[in-house]
Amino acid sequence: MAEASNRRITDYLLPSAAALGLGAAMWSALGVSDTVAKYDDAIAVVDGVPIARSVYESAVAGLASAKRNPLTDEERREALERIVDEELLLRRAMKLGLPESDPPSRKALVNAMLQLSVADAAKLEPTDEELRTFYAERPKLIAPQPLLTVRAASFDNTDTARIQRLQAALASGQAFEASVKAAGGEPALLPQGPIIPAKVAEYAGASVRDTALGLEPGRTSGPVEIGRRVVFVHLIARLEAPPPPLEEVRAVVIDEWRKRATEKAFEDYLRGLRSTARITYADGVK
């Protein structure tokens, strides 16, 4: 039971070491030095680096929430020792220069700094006015499906004579449906009026839908090979539906607003770092 408890404590308290790729285990019991008295909020000091009591209390609270029974004094002390071990591993990683020499360690630290730099922005809530302005300035942020009026016809892929007859009729400027009828093609069973792309796929297949979405009204595309048949697709009209009311998509718009806010926060953070850093480039760098 104690061993299982220790494993849970170790798993909970060592995310940093795992991120740095430090698989080593240094589980030795370390006492808290009298040096702690020099620090107001320190529960332990590791090589002159204080471990804040709040860090320990937060870790203990996390452990307690994962257990049915209250933590024992032994488990609390074990939690403290694991925090000390984590600090030792972290200090050792810094001494070895892992952030500079080990790509996974460097990536983990960069990602941690990225999250830290945008932590406050990720919690922001837009006002109603900010949200309405944001949505109004981006009418395609949540693009509804267009309504398509489509015609299509197919031929056996070996019936080159009829295929060429249709191509010739279309090239001469004849209407699509009349050309299909004259060439002896097989019209696809599509509604006469406008329908959403999903319905086009339901009636005539995904290839016809995708082809229609790529067409300008009045244009024809083909031959499109589908199995043993070739298909010609003609788009009569495309109606762009207006964006949905903000009230219907408010949660999605807030998420997008917050995403843009965090991106800007990160850019501002980097700009601040660059403004105080001394950066030089090698000769020849463009």
Q: Sketch the domain layout of the chain as residue ranges.
A: 2-96, 121-139+244-276, 147-239
Kindly report the length of the chain.
286
User: What are the tens digits of pLDDT across the range 181-216?
Assistant: 888 888 888 888 888 888 888 888 888 898 999 999
d(CA 273, CA 121): 18
CATH number of 147-239: 3.10.50
The pLDDT value recorded for residue 232 is 93
User: What are the tens digits of pLDDT across the range 135-191?
Assistant: 888 887 887 788 999 999 989 888 889 989 889 988 888 899 998 888 888 888 888
User: What are the tens digits of pLDDT across the range 80-90?
Assistant: 888 888 888 88
d(CA 121, CA 262): 5
Q: How many CB atoms lie within 10 A of CB 42?
A: 19
